Structure 1
Amino acid sequence: MSLESLFSGVNFASTMNNYCNANGWKIDSLNERKAVIKFGMSSGRKQTLYVIRYESTLEFSVPSMAIFDSENDIPHYLSTLLLKRNAERKIGFWCIEKIGSKHVYSVMQNVEMKLIDSNYFSRVVKALINECDDFEGSLQ
C-alpha cells in the first residue's frame, strides 16, 4: 500500500490510530477527514493538534492561546516576531488562522501524503506542539 493511500478516505482513521498508538498518544476525536489529539505538556498547559486531510495533503495545526476578536486587535510586533521565528524553523510555520469569528496565531505544517510515514508524522506532531508550548510560555 502506498503512503498516500494510507491516508485516503476509509484508511485515514486506521492510519491515524496506528501512528498515534505507536507513539502512545490517545486521539480525542476522529473521522474520515479529521483527527484531534490533545497533549498534556510538561509546562502544565494543554496543546491541541488537528490533522485535516485534503486531496493529497495533510494539514497539521496547533492553535495557540493568542486569540483576537478582529484583525485590528492583532499585535503587529508579535506577528513580526513569529515571522522571524519561521525563518529559523525546519518543521512548522506560524500563521494567523481564522477559527470561527476569531483570529488565532497557529503553528502549522502542510505535508503531501506520499511523504508521510510514522516517523515523519511523529516528528511533525512533536515539533508543532512543542513550538506552540514554547510560544505560549514566552507570552506568560
Structure 2
Amino acid sequence: MADYLGSCLCGAVTFEMTGAFESFYLCHCQHCQKDTGSAHAANLFSTSASLSWLSGADAVVSFTLAGTQHHKSFCSLCGSALPNTQIAGLLVVPAGCLDTEITMLPTAHIFCSSKAEWDDALEAVPAFARLPG
C-alpha cells in the first residue's frame, strides 16, 4: 500500500510513493528560486522510499543544470514539479505535488545566504483566505 499519492496540476501524471521521508528542506538557493519562481523550494528527501508512476510517465521530463547537482523533473504538459531520482539512491519529492497530507514539519531552511530580500518578516504581511477584492 502506498504511503503517499501525488499528481501534477493537469492530472496527466500520477504517482505513488512507498516509504518514509528522512528530511524536508526549504531551499532558498538561487537555483531553487528560479526553478520555482518563488522564495524557496519545499522538497522532501528519502534514501529508502520507492516511487511508481501510475499514469503519465511519458509526460515526465527531467532537467539537470549543467555544472551543478540541481535537478528538476516536471510534467511536460503543465510544468508542475514532480519527484526526481537523478541523484542515485535519493528520491526528491516537491511537497506541493503530494495529494496525501504531509504530517512532518520542515527539517530546516537551507542556503539562507541566498534568501530573497523580500522573504523576511512575512508574519507581518496581511493574510487572506482567498484573493482579496
Normalised TM-score (structure 2): 0.24
**Greater helix share, 1 or 2?**
1
Normalised TM-score (structure 1): 0.23
